[in-house]
Amino acid sequence: MRPKIGIIGNSYLINDDYPTHAGGTMNSDAVSRVSGCLPLLIPTDPRFVTVEELLECFDGFLLTGGRPNVHPEEYGEDPTEAHGDFDRARDAITLPLVRACVERGQPFMGICRGFQEVNVAMGGTLYPEIRDLPGRMNHRMPPDGTIEEKFALRHPVTLTEGGVFHQLLGATEVMTNTLHGQGIKSPGSRIVIDGQAADGTPEAIYVKDAPGFTLSVQWHPEYCADQDPVSRPLFEALGAAARAWAAGERATALQLSA
């Protein structure tokens, strides 16, 4: 039996009318084919699941991207128009789930919104719109074009020499896509910024001294994860961490890259 990775789902309306929980196919593909784990979509809403149940059911978690943003009340700020749409039900599950996983050593990887959730869960704050800040580039998805064009590699990320991501990926600079509007304003307690875009935007983080796998990235490594030299090691490491958890062990990214 493959280890089970819980994929955080997003609330979604089909035809602007029928409520569903949805997850991108590319997330399931990356978890199944690259991590070697069983991908299972979580209906991320406290009406249906509890954090305690999720911790018992899964060997690891993928905190996916999503159009709605973390509500700013979760980090002590008032919502504005720039903050966009929200998903309070997802907030209610993912933020305590991250904290519980950090404490237990249960593996997770955050992507885009998931990256931001990890920061907020650990006490950090977010900018509502990166491109409005002086000196910052527009990190948002191109409004037009094919999927291939929207997920194309658009900027380099510089990784800390000798850091966790450098050791795992084997390089101090990697090319990534970029499809986000918000970003880290202040890092949360124990959040280590291990990679940045050229404009200073944090792009790669982990939780200091966590007993398990906590790597999270602002970009979208799930796109063509089996082919991309940056994405593949991330999902392979998540899978290895989930297998360790399923076997009753805990493994950090450093241990996996050793």
Instruction: Please report the DSSP string for 25-68 in residue order.
Output: HHHHHIIIIIS-SEEEEE---TTT--HHHHHHH-SEEEE---SS
31 token code pair: 């978890």
pLDDT in tens, 193-217: 999 999 999 999 999 999 999 999 9
- pLDDT for the residue 258: 59
- pLDDT for the residue 80: 79
Give the residue ranges of the chain where pLDDT is below 50. none
- pLDDT for the residue 103: 97
- pLDDT for the residue 257: 66
Residue 60's nearest CA partner among 104, 29, 23, 25 is: 104
* CB count in 10 Å sphere of residue 178: 24
CATH class of the domain whose range is 4-257: alpha beta
